[in-house]
Amino acid sequence: MFRVSMQQSYGTAAALLALAWADAASGYEVLRAGHYDLGAHYDPDTGWYSYVWDFDDQRALPAESTVLWVGPEYRREITSAQFGALADPGETVWVLPDTLPSHLTWDDFLYLGLGTQRQEPGVFLGGVGGVNGRGEKAMRLVSVEGTGPERGGHFAMWYTEGLEQLTWIFTTRDGIGDDDRFEGLRAGFHGHYNTAFTQPGRYEVTVEFYGELRAAHGGGTTTHQVTWTFYVSDGRMDWAHAFEAGDGWYYSPAFGWMYPVDGKWVYSPVAGFRYVHAAEADGAYLYDLRWDSWVFQSAALHPWAYDAEAGWVADGGADGRWRFVPDNGWQWQEAP
């Protein structure tokens, strides 16, 4: 009776939330693994365009609707004073390294760089002395905002030269100044740099690209600001540590897109309503209203979950789900 009553109560709400999700959450693309570049290019005819370049699928993702997810697997402890521009020895930070670890692939690692491969050569004047005659632009750090900085978090980007000599591109621990800039971004440039954060939360990193146009393209200096969004997760399951997309929608690596309602109830576009009974650091136990069963979900398992009665399952939307049957593999199960 309880289950029937709850289904009737939330039936209309689910339909409305499903429509709202199309307008809110689905406008974002959350990137957790793969090879990507942050960049912007200037077209003399159409102006500036900023993006996150997806090397795997060869596509440009709009910067304003792309979230770069930095999970707890990127945590490390600072062990040397040479990282003082970021944090002190003994403190924990999240680092996207500039080199893909040999034991990983782009399928399970967020490999992030800076690139201007889409910039047409000959648009900008070269820097001092010129760079292969291909023209240069530069970028400077404007601001870093969000729940991460509000918790006292800092943002930094650097590379290593020679015998562990660090060259800092950006660092906000001492504020943002004239030295927080990157020059020499010639057409066709591509490079990878260490990118780090010192607290969990949302980081909206705003930079300004600028360059001097050649006379054939109007001359003078042109500028463009872009904000890239990072979400740094420490693995906690509460809403305060999930990405907020707006209009009540959140994203969690354990749940996917979700809409919290009535305290501990949460709505998922693919799983329907679930009750969060107990949330732990590595996952959560939930009552699944549609299937009348208890499931365990975590970031490590998503999009799969473990159902106390059915075993391993994967949500397939409103029509049903996939269930793993021993000796028979994955089989489709119609929703009740």
CA 2 to CA 216: how far, in whole Å?
73
pLDDT at residue 260, rounded to an integer: 82
Do 138 and 62 lie in one domain? The reply is yes
What average pLDDT does range 189-202 have in this prediction?
Answer: 93
Question: What are the residues whose beta carbons fall under 8 Å from the beta carbon of 247, sequence distance 6 or more?
Answer: 20, 23, 24
Domain that holds residue 16: 2-24+262-334
Do 184 and 40 lie in one domain? The reply is yes
Do 9 and 41 lie in one domain? The reply is no
Spatial strand order of the sheet with 59-62 comes to: 59-62, 47-54, 34-43, 110-115, 190-192
Do 202 and 68 lie in one domain? The reply is yes
Which tokens go with 141?
């750090």
User: Is there a domain that residue 247 lies in?
Assistant: no
| Percentage of the chain modeled with pLDDT above 70 | 86
pLDDT for 88 beyond 90: yes
pLDDT for 311 beyond 80: yes
Q: Is 268 helix (H, G, I), strand (E, B) or coil?
A: strand
Do 176 and 308 lie in one domain? The reply is no
Q: Which range, of 59-73, 187-201, 241-255, 281-295, averages the lowest pLDDT?
A: 241-255
Do 111 and 70 lie in one domain? The reply is yes
User: Is there a domain that residue 244 lies in?
Assistant: no
User: Is there a domain that residue 239 lies in?
Assistant: no
pLDDT tens digits, residue range 131-146?
Answer: 444 568 899 999 999 9
pLDDT at residue 127, rounded to an integer: 61
Spatial strand order of the sheet with 155-161 comes to: 75-77, 92-96, 194-197, 155-161, 165-171
CA 329 to CA 151: how far, in whole Å?
46
pLDDT at residue 284, rounded to an integer: 83
Which tokens go with 191?
């490079």
| Greatest Cα-to-Cα distance within the chain, rounded to the nearest angstrom | 79
User: Is there a domain that residue 124 lies in?
Assistant: yes
Question: What are the residues whose beta carbons fall under 8 Å from the beta carbon of 119, sequence distance 6 or more?
Answer: 39, 41, 42, 137, 187, 188, 189
Do 167 and 291 lie in one domain? The reply is no
Do 178 and 47 lie in one domain? The reply is yes
| Helices assigned H by DSSP within 196-305 | none
pLDDT tens digits, residue range 157-180?
Answer: 999 876 678 999 999 999 999 999
pLDDT for 296 beyond 80: yes
Do 214 and 268 lie in one domain? The reply is no
User: Is there a domain that residue 238 lies in?
Assistant: no
Question: What are the residues whose beta carbons fall under 8 Å from the beta carbon of 45, sequence distance 6 or more?
Answer: none
Do 10 and 49 lie in one domain? The reply is no
User: Is there a domain that residue 242 lies in?
Assistant: no
Do 218 and 268 lie in one domain? The reply is no
CA 246 to CA 131: how far, in whole Å?
44
User: Is there a domain that residue 45 lies in?
Assistant: yes
User: Is there a domain that residue 250 lies in?
Assistant: no
pLDDT at residue 238, rounded to an integer: 63
Q: What is the domain count for the chain?
A: 2
Angle at 200 between CA 283 and CA 161, to 5 degrees: 120
Do 164 and 212 lie in one domain? The reply is yes
Q: How confident is the model at residue 8 (pLDDT cuts 50, 70, 90)?
A: very low
Pick 309 or 20 by higher pLDDT.
Answer: 309
pLDDT at residue 290, rounded to an integer: 84
